Amino acid sequence: MFMGKRTKQVIRGTATKSTDYEFQVINPWFREHQKVEAREKLVSETSKKGRMSLYIHVPFCESKCSYCAYVSKAPTAILTDSYFVALNKEIKSFGNSLSKVQVSSLYFGGGTPTLVPTKLLETISFVHSRFSLEEGAEITVEAHPKTIPEDILVSLLTAGVNRISMGVQSFSNVILKLMRRSHTAEEAIDAAKRIRAAGFLRFNIDLIYAYPKQDIKSWMKTLEQAVALCPTGITAYRVRLGNREGNTLLRKQYENNQKEFPDEALVAEMEAKTKEILGKNGYSEGPAGWFMNEDFLPRQLPREPQVYVDRWSDQIPLIGFGVGAYSMGRLSQYQNTNRIQEYIERADASKPFALIEKGMVLTKKEAKAALDWKRGKFSGKKE
């Protein structure tokens, strides 16, 4: 799980510092020797808690966006098959110890889970067979505008998916091209309409600002277009160069020419306009750049998506499956290897620790610091 560090001081006319665009891991000082201990501690903590949140990483995308540091690759039939075999082995390896623990939210991220819909549907059903999902558990799938025709949306609904989070990033075709997104603004608008028409009660649109060559007018138009599609949530992220392990095309661009990036004054203006436009349209601010419009939510649904409550407020242990996935509880964290081939080769249900790259058991002080930060973030307080 990442958080962005922001510099609050606004200096008109200066380029932003690269640290303003960095990812930061909540506890970046993973300890190499603690993988086994971290997993054991997390399993024990999760069993006692009686509730957990699940994350499943699907590392396939049609192409690579310029800013993306997540693990993703173009799928081939062989790679996809072997990946899901490995993923199932990892899921199975938890089955017995956590089969009775109630799952409050299940999240498929990537990558583009909807690029491999058959595998996605099979995995949803496999998770149901191995774990106990609460009645009405929130099931979110991240989607790309070009991968969700009507029939796939209907199959997802039928399989119990009740929340779609669609990455759009911009409604400007110029910016989309610069970002190397493989869809147009028009395709994103059509996809949003299909999601609403299919009947998903929760629907989130992800947007990115502070992108090179993006001006305030273009960002405002993007926000207004997003609002016009009536999603229940909008996430507005400041663009990131990548994390400390993954290099992105955008990082190279930053190293070559920082001047193309919006300066701090423009970034501050974009942030102010985000709050103003979304606020004016009934969206209230939640944690980490996420905004919600309660008017679009049926009464029986909780206000915030369960996945946010689990991760930011209730401290439900998160178990992540798949390449690069993070797992974390109050007292321990670990991350799986972020190399797909290695993930596939290491997967073996009899050796559950083989997939883990690094782990960490938190001291009481570290655990308290992480908890305070999360609570502050969830209540909308800035770090």
Binding interface with ligand SF4 (CB under 6 A): 61, 64-65, 68, 70, 72, 110-112, 144, 167
**In the complex, what is the shortest distance from the CB of residue 194 to ligand SF4, in angstroms, rounded to a whole number?**
18
Q: At what angle do helices 216-228 and 264-280 cross, to 10 degrees?
A: 20
Q: Which residues contact 143 (CB under 8 A, 6 or more apart)?
A: 112, 113, 114, 164, 165, 166, 167, 191, 195
Distance CA 178, CA 261 (A): 13
Three-class DSSP category at 169: strand
**In the complex, what is the shortest distance from the CB of residue 289 to ligand SF4, in angstroms, rounded to a whole number?**
15
Compare residues 38 and 239 and give the one whose CB is closer to ligand SF4: 239
What's the distance, Cα to Cα, between the start and end of the chain in Å? 16
Compare residues 222 and 332 and give the one whose CB is closer to ligand SF4: 222
Compare residues 17 and 244 and give the one whose CB is closer to ligand SF4: 244
**In the complex, what is the shortest distance from the CB of residue 237 to ligand SF4, in angstroms, rounded to a whole number?**
11
Compare residues 61 and 207 and give the one whose CB is closer to ligand SF4: 61
Three-class DSSP category at 53: strand
Compare residues 210 and 277 and give the one whose CB is closer to ligand SF4: 210
Distance CA 18, CA 281 (A): 33
Compare residues 206 and 304 and give the one whose CB is closer to ligand SF4: 206
**In the complex, what is the shortest distance from the CB of residue 71 to ligand SF4, in angstroms, rounded to a whole number?**
9
Compare residues 123 and 315 and give the one whose CB is closer to ligand SF4: 123
Please count the CA atoms within 13 angstroms of the CA of 163 that sit on its side-chain side.
Answer: 25
E strands along 35-154, which residues? 51-58, 102-110, 132-143
**In the complex, what is the shortest distance from the CB of residue 323 to ligand SF4, in angstroms, rounded to a whole number?**
12
Show the DSSP H helices in 9-76 as ranges.
Answer: 35-49
Distance CA 37, CA 42 (A): 8
* Tokens describing residue 191: 């996809």
Count CB-CB contacts under 10 A for residue 76: 10
**In the complex, what is the shortest distance from the CB of residue 207 to ligand SF4, in angstroms, rounded to a whole number?**
12
Cis before 233? omega within 30: no
Compare residues 238 and 330 and give the one whose CB is closer to ligand SF4: 238
**In the complex, what is the shortest distance from the CB of residue 252 to ligand SF4, in angstroms, rounded to a whole number?**
16
Q: Which residues contact 347 (CB under 8 A, 6 or more apart)?
A: 85, 86, 87, 89, 90, 354, 355
**In the complex, what is the shortest distance from the CB of residue 246 to ligand SF4, in angstroms, rounded to a whole number?**
10
